[in-house]
A and B are shown apart, each in its own frame.
Chain A
Amino acid sequence: MEKSLKKSSQPVRGNGVEKRAGNRRLEVLKTYKLYIGGQFPRTESGRYYTPTGPNGRKLANVCQASRKDFRDAVVAARNALGGWSSRPAFNRGQILYRMAEMLEGRKAQFMEELQAQGLPRLRAERDVSASVDRLIYYAGWCDKFQQLFSTVNPVASSHFSFSVPEPTGVVAIIAPQQDALLGLVSVLAPVLAGANTCVVLAAESLPLCAVTLAEVLHSSDLPGGVVNILTGKAAELTGWFAGHMDVNATLYCENDSSVQRMIREKATSNLKRTVFYADDDWRLPDAQSPYRILDFQEIKTTWHPIENIAGSGASY
């Protein structure tokens, strides 16, 4: 990691610097944009903010998403829901696994970004590996959690009655503010495994790997619009995440009781499900569980008559 700063450019080192003897190549810097509907637009508002790393080093000029960006993202998520939720569970598992493959392949880039955002090298490496493993963990759940949470109901009448989980719908996620990559992957994966679509607000001060994760998703056969990632100010956007009438659930990951209360109140408008993961340590094994998938599922019960005109029961 090069420490010296060039005055005229943003000192993000994610894309590498080549040095040759006596001939210094100017590095090409990445523009960090939003990810909406499978595309990488800038914010419609034209605003930006500049999060800084340790020692006050500027990370990048990042889009400061607006309420309008969020609404566009919800439209994209809603449009993607039908296709994503009707895919076979097995196929969703393959796509989550593909995301893990892509993430593994970009390990170096994520480590650089995590380090630029202040993590020591070893911890950055551990976090990227854990994120890959977490995706694989939930890839496996895609076609298994149903068998845990479904039932065939032994009703007294002559009916075949069964209950199965179905996705809640569009989930608005305010990602954990601390664990820029592992926290984000840990909340994203169960929502996707459960066949929901979502809009994510990246960690405000650590947004780099969220945008790069969008590139991973983009190259993993994940249909556009299933995940939409915004960067911006939590204080500005959280209220919209909780109040939007076409969002079915809101996930908030900080332990701020006044914000939690605000989310609950605003979510009342259309009875959004509100889920709070406060103080979770995403490095622990119990930070992953099928119950996190169940958090974003509805249970549907179907009744079907069983013809009972036959006189004899088969007793072979």
Chain B
Amino acid sequence: MPKPPTPKKKAAVRLKFDTKWTYNPAPESRDAAQIRPQYDLFIGGTWQRPSSRKYFDTINPATEEKISEVAQAGQADVNRAVAAARQAYEKTWRKMPGPERAKYLFRIARMVQEKARELAIIESLDGGKPIRESRDFDIPTAANHFFYYAGWADKLAYAFPNRKVYPLGVAGQIIPWNFPLLMAAWKIAPALATGNTVVLKPAETTPLTALKLAEIIQEADLPPGVVNLITGAGDTGAALVRHGGIDKIAFTGSTEVGKIIQQAVAGTPKKVTLELGGKAANIVFEDAPIDQAVEGVINGIFFNQGHVCCAGSRLYVQESIARTFLRKLRDRMESLILGDPLDKNTDIGAINSKKQLDTIRQYLAIGEREGADMYQVSCPIPARGFWCPPTLFTQVAQSSRIAQEEIFGPVLAVLTFRTDDEVIEKANNTPYGLSAGVWTDKGSKVFNMTRRIKAGVVWANTFNKFDPSSPFGGYKESGYGREGGLHGLLPYINLDR
């Protein structure tokens, strides 16, 4: 009897994304943006030179070329800005009827929309993020945030029934470099809607879109001093935090600095909200729609080069699907396009600064030293600028520093689990609690997880979703206070019977 032919083992099909899928360059034009060679401080509705007469460069992290230079604000400038904000608060803003405050904010929202393209270009130039993200996410979301909070300005009585709503006074606001304009909007919009005035300090590496926003604010005829903008580094921020004329500090940044701020305001009546670091668990169950989950994990960690406080930097994948999932994940990573942030095809832009690149590289070394396996995408790296290819660590221990500490870069730590209880234990086992992701086809499992995960935002079968109407903020050492939605009004008001 003839033997049945043994079925030939099929060779696994490997997709060659890097060689077969090429795109022609599609750069956005830099000329569509107007950038002044030098920026002063925006205080009391006018542009003022810093008392130190000192300016520092802001560079394009993709080319290391200087874009412009901005004023370095010192103690005297902080004093002037706070005084301007105080005067505007007492003389105009606190007395202005809600509907009129609303109309100013609507104006600002409209002007941000009108200048969206210019703002997107500057955001990508100054911060290194892909134009696709600044154009489709950062700028529209910032405009929407102003539009949303504009509507609250005359409706506060409905937000907090049986209480009278009072503004706090002058808010000192310090924002990070990862979403420069969006964070400015998150801070300014609710503060103004509730009747506060503002002194805002953008991050030293990404001041330009905030300065453009100051131009918009001027154009919108906002009363002088309602928004003041001072540029500088950490000591400028420290001077703002310590200033006696401030009623409220709103800070977004690292947990380390957040703790310093809380210590600095202890013993003062200043109110504080902190939106700090994170180490989000992105949990993939075996019944999840795999390809969708792969996309979500990619988006979760590589969005904005991983410079995202709520980035899904810890992947927990159920053991039964770990091999398949990792193969698909690597394939998808290989298809990411790293390069010129102004190119519309770019997925991964430049690391925001040399300093941040050094931090990320330190963690890569730590990961290898601790025995994890590192996998990096084999894409070409531009000769100049700050770059880190998408990176994945497997064989990571729960106690490893790359699984415990925030790296703030395109680095994903992969761990596995078997049961619900196990993954909850692991996911919650960090000092952070900002966000988390759950991927499963089963709705009841989603709600089981969301109930037990200690995090301020849990995304189910999606990740990195933001909306002006949706509160965002952390548990534990990820900070306190919420931004967005009705809850986002609370950090800027006093309630009285």
What separation, in Å, do the CA atoms of A97 and B154 have in the docked complex?
A: 15
- Judged by a CB distance under 8 angstroms, whether A144 is at the interface is yes
Please choose the segment from B273-281, B366-374, B421-429 that sits at the chain A interface, where 4 or more of its residues have CB less than 8 A away: B421-429
Residue in B144, B159, B447, B452 whose beta carbon sits within 8 Å of that of A314 in the complex: B452
Whether the pair A307, B445 counts as a contact (CB closer than 8 A) is yes
* Contacts of B423-472 to chain A: CB distance below 8 A: 424-425, 428-429, 442-445, 447-448, 451-454, 467-469
* Residues from chain B with Cβ under 8 Å of A143 in the complex: 148, 151, 468-469
Q: Which of B151, B420, B442, B452 has the most CB of A within 10 A?
A: B151
B445 nearest in chain A by CB position: A307
* Residues from chain A with Cβ under 8 Å of B443 in the complex: 304-305
- Judged by a CB distance under 8 angstroms, whether B401 is at the interface is no
Taking the closest CB of chain B, its distance from the CB of A130, in whole angstroms, is 10
With contacts A90-B469, A143-B469 taken as known, whether A306 is within 8 angstroms of B447 at the C-beta atoms is yes
- Convert A295-308 into 0s and 1s, putting 1 for each residue whose CB lies closer than 8 angstroms to a CB of B: 00000000011111
* Residues from chain A with Cβ under 8 Å of B454 in the complex: 314, 316
- Convert A120-142 into 0s and 1s, putting 1 for each residue whose CB lies closer than 8 angstroms to a CB of B: 00000000000001001101111
Taking the closest CB of chain A, its distance from the CB of B161, in whole angstroms, is 9
* Residues from chain A with Cβ under 8 Å of B468 in the complex: 90, 143
Whether the pair A141, B151 counts as a contact (CB closer than 8 A) is yes
Whether the pair B444, A304 counts as a contact (CB closer than 8 A) is yes
- Convert A9-29 into 0s and 1s, putting 1 for each residue whose CB lies closer than 8 angstroms to a CB of B: 000000000000000000000
Whether the pair A307, B147 counts as a contact (CB closer than 8 A) is no
* Residues from chain A with Cβ under 8 Å of B159 in the complex: 148
Taking the closest CB of chain B, its distance from the CB of A121, in whole angstroms, is 23
Please choose the segment from B69-77, B99-107, B217-225, B298-306 that sits at the chain A interface, where 4 or more of its residues have CB less than 8 A away: B99-107
What separation, in Å, do the CA atoms of A218 and B420 have in the docked complex?
A: 54
- Judged by a CB distance under 8 angstroms, whether B158 is at the interface is yes
B105 nearest in chain A by CB position: A140
Taking the closest CB of chain B, its distance from the CB of A182, in whole angstroms, is 15
Residue in B152, B428, B445, B448 whose beta carbon sits within 8 Å of that of A140 in the complex: B152
With contacts A306-B451, A307-B447, A314-B454 taken as known, whether A141 is within 8 angstroms of B420 at the C-beta atoms is no
Report which A residues bind B (CB closer than 8 A).
89-90, 93-94, 97, 133, 136-137, 139-144, 147-148, 160, 290, 304-314, 316
Q: A97-B147, A307-B448, A311-B421 are in contact. List 13 more A-B contacts (CB 8 A).
A: A89-B469, A90-B468, A140-B150, A143-B468, A144-B148, A144-B151, A144-B469, A147-B486, A160-B447, A290-B158, A306-B444, A306-B451, A307-B447
Report which B residues bind A (CB closer than 8 A).
99, 102-103, 106, 144, 147-148, 150-155, 158-159, 420-421, 424-425, 428-429, 442-445, 447-448, 451-454, 467-469, 476, 485-486
